[in-house]
């Protein structure tokens, strides 16, 4: 899949899920009290309407808190370090090699591993959506919600060549695969390289400013075409948001409301009423000040509320009052707890067969079209009008731009392109390459 985004840090994490936890946390951030109540009201509404099963919510949370995480990726990498045959398999077919451990499914359907060397350290970042290889790294909520990679030249290792993979942000030097279906296999590199173009934006902070129009039904409120692509979420290459503050591997959530908002989003996604790209689009279409003030799981909550109303699962009045006023739509069945594991293992593969030959071959120089589409896209601003070289052809994948409009059947060839850092960032850029996965409609011959 093509370039993407997300995750966060509030500086502390509590394991106590009881009322005292919420009460204490609310004294530190009064805004969180409103969020806790909002999520509880939404969960009660959806349970009352028969759209979610409370036991399924608990199952989702348990899986992502106890059964997936960086420890899974560490097992894969440790095996690669000691087993040359497995390492070769991982290089040739990462998805199959990783699946042999039972790590598969949602957000891990199409895995590719890139390997660090003495001269190249691969830093995997995400600039447009909420993607991360959950089966091997778990949730990434500790990175993007705060935000940013340092771009100060003084922070860079001298004369190190760096390869940047446009996905989600990864910083650990220890065992672990990189992000969003593209893993960085640790090698002998001593430090993560940094690049002026890798600056990430702050998607929310401890101030938690008041949110406005979160339940607005008009154009631009959700996954439709009411807002432009070049919104606050398209942060790739932007400066001034401060450093990424990494956090312990176990800090997946920072409050019970985040756990419940996460599980509600997965459970409602299982109703089959929207695509993953519609979910991303719904999160993106917010006023810039609101988007930047929201924390990571607030973005998820906003997108869920918008889609529930747009798809007719709840009414705006029900969302406002928290009371069920209409029956559950016909033909909609909540995912049950006993089906959660199987549903996650199945995932949602996005490869497709098309009857068109690929327009470009490995080694071709191609230009990214300088288009500014209305709605969701995976061609970030910083590569439009730039020339790159095709290094991989992934086959045909579901086209995110049309999937975000609910058109599930359209697929195009997907390529990995390498861009010289100087092409993107100018003469002062650190030598290196930036790799992005881009669909054929974004490209034309150079």
Catalytic residue (choose from 44, 95, 100, 131): 131
| CA-based nearest residue to 7, from 153, 183, 133, 194 | 133
Active site annotation includes 95: no
Q: Which two tokens stand for residue 62?
A: 């348990």
- d(CA 97, CA 301) in angstroms, rounded, equals 34
- d(CA 36, CA 303) in angstroms, rounded, equals 17
Active site annotation includes 281: no
Catalytic residue (choose from 44, 95, 100, 126): 126
Residue 443's φ and ψ, nearest 5 degrees, are -120, 155
User: Tokens 């490995």, residue?
Assistant: 362
Which DSSP string corresponds to 8-21?
---S------SHHH
Report yes or no: 63 and 266 within 8 Å, Cβ to Cβ: no
- d(CA 173, CA 193) in angstroms, rounded, equals 11
What angle in degrees, to the nearest 10, is found between the helix axes of 296-310 and 256-269?
A: 40
Report yes or no: 141 and 250 within 8 Å, Cβ to Cβ: no
Report yes or no: 104 and 347 within 8 Å, Cβ to Cβ: yes
Active site annotation includes 129: yes
Active site annotation includes 131: yes
Classify 159 in phi/psi space as left (phi over 0), alpha (psi -120 to 50) or beta: left
Mark out the alpha helices in 63-183 (DSSP H runs).
70-82, 84-92, 94-99, 134-137
DSSP, collapsed to helix, strand or coil, labels residue 122 as strand
C-alpha angle 328-333-337 in degrees, rounded to nearest 5: 125
Classify 12 in phi/psi space as left (phi over 0), alpha (psi -120 to 50) or beta: beta
Catalytic residue (choose from 44, 130, 150, 403): 130
Catalytic residue (choose from 44, 95, 100, 129): 129
Please compute Rg for the chain using Cα positions: 21
Catalytic positions, please?
Answer: 126, 129-131
């Amino acid at each position: 899949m093509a370039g993407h985004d997300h995750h966060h840090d509030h500086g502390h994490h509590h394991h106590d899920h009881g009322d005292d936890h919420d009460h204490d946390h609310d004294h530190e951030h009064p805004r969180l009290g409103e969020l806790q109540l909002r999520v509880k009201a939404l969960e009660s509404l959806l349970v009352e309407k028969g759209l979610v099963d409370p036991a399924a919510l608990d199952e989702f949370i348990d899986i992502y808190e106890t059964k997936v995480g960086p420890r899974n990726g560490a097992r894969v990498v440790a095996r690669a370090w000691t087993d040359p045959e497995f390492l070769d398999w991982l290089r040739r077919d990462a998805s199959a090699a990783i699946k042999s451990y039972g790590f598969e499914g949602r957000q891990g359907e199409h895995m590719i591993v890139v390997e660090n060397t003495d001269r190249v350290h691969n830093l995997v970042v995400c600039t447009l959506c909420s993607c991360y290889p959950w089966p091997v790294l778990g949730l990434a909520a500790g990175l993007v919600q705060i935000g940013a990679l340092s771009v100060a030249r003084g922070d860079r290792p001298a004369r190190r060549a760096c390869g940047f993979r446009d996905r989600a942000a990864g910083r650990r030097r220890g065992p672990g695969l990189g992000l969003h279906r593209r893993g960085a296999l640790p090698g002998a590199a001593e430090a993560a390289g940094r690049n002026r173009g890798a600056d990430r934006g702050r998607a929310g902070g401890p101030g938690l400013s008041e949110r406005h129009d979160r339940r607005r039904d008009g154009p631009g409120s959700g996954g439709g075409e009411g807002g432009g692509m070049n919104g606050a979420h398209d942060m790739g290459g932007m400066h001034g948001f401060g450093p990424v503050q990494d956090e312990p591997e176990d800090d997946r959530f920072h409050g019970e409301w985040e756990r419940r908002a996460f599980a509600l989003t997965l459970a409602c996604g299982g109703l089959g009423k929207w695509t993953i790209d519609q979910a991303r689009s719904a999160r993106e279409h917010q006023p810039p000040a609101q988007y930047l003030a929201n924390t990571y799981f607030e973005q998820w909550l906003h997108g869920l509320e918008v889609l529930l109303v747009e798809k007719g699962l709840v009414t705006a009045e029900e969302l406002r009052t928290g009371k069920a006023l209409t029956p559950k739509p016909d033909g909609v069945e909540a995912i049950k707890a006993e089906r959660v594991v199987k549903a996650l293992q199945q995932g949602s593969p996005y490869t497709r067969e098309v009857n068109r030959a690929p327009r470009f071959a490995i080694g071709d120089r191609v230009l990214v079209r300088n288009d500014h589409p209305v709605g969701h896209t995976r061609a970030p601003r910083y590569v439009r009008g730039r020339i790159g070289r095709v290094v991989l052809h992934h086959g045909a994948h579901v086209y995110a731009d049309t999937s975000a409009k609910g058109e599930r059947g359209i697929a195009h060839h997907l390529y990995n392109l390498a861009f010289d850092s100087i092409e993107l960032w100018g003469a002062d850029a650190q030598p290196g390459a930036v790799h992005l996965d881009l669909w054929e409609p974004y490209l034309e011959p150079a």
